[in-house]
Amino acid sequence: MADLVRLSSNLLYTAFILYLIATLFFGGSIRDKRARERGVSISRWSAVAITLTIVGFVAQLGYFVLRWIAGGHAPVSNLFEFTTFFGMMLVGAFIMIYFIYKLNILGLFALPVAILIIAFASMFPRDISPLIPSLRSDWLHIHVTTVAAGQAILAISFAAGLMYLLKSVDPKVKDKRSFWLEAIMYSLIAVVGFILVTTGFALSDYKADFNWIDKNGNQTSAHYTMPALVGPHKGELLTPDRFEPLASMPALVNAKKLNTVIWTLLAGTALYWLIRLIFRKRVSLLLQPLVKKVNLDLVDEIGYRSVLIGFPVFT
């Protein structure tokens, strides 16, 4: 059994690396002028890219099946398992849409997201855990897998929608449209910021415990995994050598969650301005060359089609 678990983890790792390489090939394929001149839709670059993606997907499927056998229940029972499964479904949905429309640029949007998601998932405890009573039901297999698959297919629609906006909104015109497109870019970067700070502090194993007084005057404890910029109500830091909160929140506010939001916004903003300083242009303008060749009607249809496929799955 232990061997099975190890093999399963290695397959997941393999899938992760393959997705990474495939992304690079998709990047190459949209810059590949020769194929475009010859008028073929699948160049050698993109053939390699999609092959690597499929091999990666099969490897991850192997991870899933082996873990199922080892654990005795579908591996969708905790955050690590659910999130990796969601990443796998994202890649699966991309492969499906790819074979309908052969749109390389979609790979450049979908695969990095899947990679980020799988990396983020690995920050949660990865042990195979036994099922708590409410998860001991056939609905675990039905509900959680269809929810993940449905969301993944719908996410492809999100990627297509983003491409549509990048293409149809002119970032050089300073109007409401270009402002809000840039705001979407900022939110996406803030998500990356969230993954970076949570991963960073998880790797450095940061832990700080507090005692605090809740709304009813009872003493309870809070466990922070990031330095507490804002502390809980009448909080008392128990762990030595940890960051003392700059401010204490009223009892009504969930200080730990607020702290995560603040960290996310700080990291996202820093990252965003770093990009702006390096490239000296808006992020939407920076990404625009990627979608130069994209046909609006086509991405519109991809967006629509993925909603059509995703919706019944999700429902």
Partner 1 sequence: MNDVKCVCGHVNPQGTVLCEACGRALTEDAKKENLHDMRYEGSARRSQTYNKKFIDKVWNFFSSVKVGIWLIVITLIASALGTIFPQVMYIPQNVDPAQYYAEQYGTLGKIYYLLGFHDLYSSWWYLLLIASIGVSLVICSLDRVIPLYRALKNQRVNRVEGFLRRQRLYGKSTSETADADFDAVKKRLKEKKYTIREEDGNILAEKGRFSRWGPYVNHIGLIIFLIGGMLRFVPGMYVDEVLWLREGETKTIPGTHKEYVLENKKFTMELYDKEKDKEVYEKALERAGDVVKNFQSDVVLYKRDTTKTLGEDDKLEKVKEAEIRVNEPLKFEDFALYQVDYKLDEFKAMSFNFLKKEDESIKGELTIDLFDPKEEYDLGNGYKVELLGYYPDFKGFAENGEPQTDSSVPNNPAFLFNMISPEHPEGEKSFTAIRQTIEPLGETEYKMTFAGIETRNATALTVRKDLTLWILAVGGAIFMIGVIQGSYWNHRRIWLQRRGKDVFIAAHTNKNWHGIKRELAQVLNGTSIPEPADQQDDKKNIRNEGGATNGGSSETKQ
* Count of C-beta atoms within a 10 Å radius of residue 303: 20
Pull the structure tokens for residue 221.
């404890």
Range in contact with ligand HEM (rule: CB under 6 A) among 43-51, 144-152, 185-193, 254-262: 144-152
Our finding on whether 315 is near ligand HEM (CB under 6 A) is no
Q: What Rg value do the Cα atoms of the chain yield, rounded?
A: 22
- Binding track over 102-121 against partner 1, x by CB under 8 A: xxxx----------------
**Separation CA 81–CA 145 (nearest Å):** 11
**Separation CA 49–CA 43 (nearest Å):** 10
Judged by CB under 8 A, the chain residues 203 through 222 that form the site for partner 1 are: none
- Smallest separation, CB 220 to ligand HEM (Å): 24
**Separation CA 296–CA 169 (nearest Å):** 11
Query: Which of partner 1, ligand HEM, none does residue 82 bind (CB under 5 to 8 Å by kind)?
Result: ligand HEM
Our finding on whether 76 is near ligand HEM (CB under 6 A) is yes
Which one of 134, 204, 216, 315 is in contact with ligand HEM (CB under 6 A)? Answer: 134
Place of tokens 């609006």: 296
| Nearest CA among 99, 94, 117 for reference residue 12 | 117
Our finding on whether 130 is near partner 1 (CB under 8 A) is yes
Place of tokens 């920050």: 123
Sign of the dihedral through C-alpha 223, 229, 233, 236: positive
Strand (E) or helix (H) holding 276: helix 255-279
Query: Which of partner 1, ligand HEM, none does residue 151 bind (CB under 5 to 8 Å by kind)?
Result: ligand HEM
Q: Are 57 and 95 in contact (CB under 8 A)?
A: yes
By C-beta, is 139 or 180 nearer to partner 1? Answer: 139
- Non-local (6+) Cβ contacts of 207 within 8 A are 223, 224, 225, 239
Query: Which of partner 1, ligand HEM, none does residue 294 bind (CB under 5 to 8 Å by kind)?
Result: partner 1
Our finding on whether 145 is near ligand HEM (CB under 6 A) is no
Q: Strand 230-231 to strand 247-248: parallel, antiparallel, or no bridges (unpaired)?
A: parallel
Q: Are 194 and 268 in contact (CB under 8 A)?
A: yes
Range in contact with ligand HEM (rule: CB under 6 A) among 142-150, 187-195, 215-223, 238-246: 142-150
- Binding track over 163-182 against partner 1, x by CB under 8 A: -----x-x------------
Which one of 96, 135, 271, 286 is in contact with ligand HEM (CB under 6 A)? Answer: 135
Range in contact with partner 1 (rule: CB under 8 A) among 54-62, 82-90, 130-138, 272-280: 130-138
**Separation CA 68–CA 5 (nearest Å):** 10
What is the contact surface with partner 1 in residues (CB under 8 A)?
1-2, 5, 29-30, 32, 35-36, 39-43, 46, 70-72, 101-105, 125, 127-130, 132-134, 136-137, 139, 168, 170, 293-298, 300-301, 304, 308, 311-312, 315
What is the contact surface with ligand HEM in residues (CB under 6 A)?
76, 82, 134-135, 143-144, 147, 151
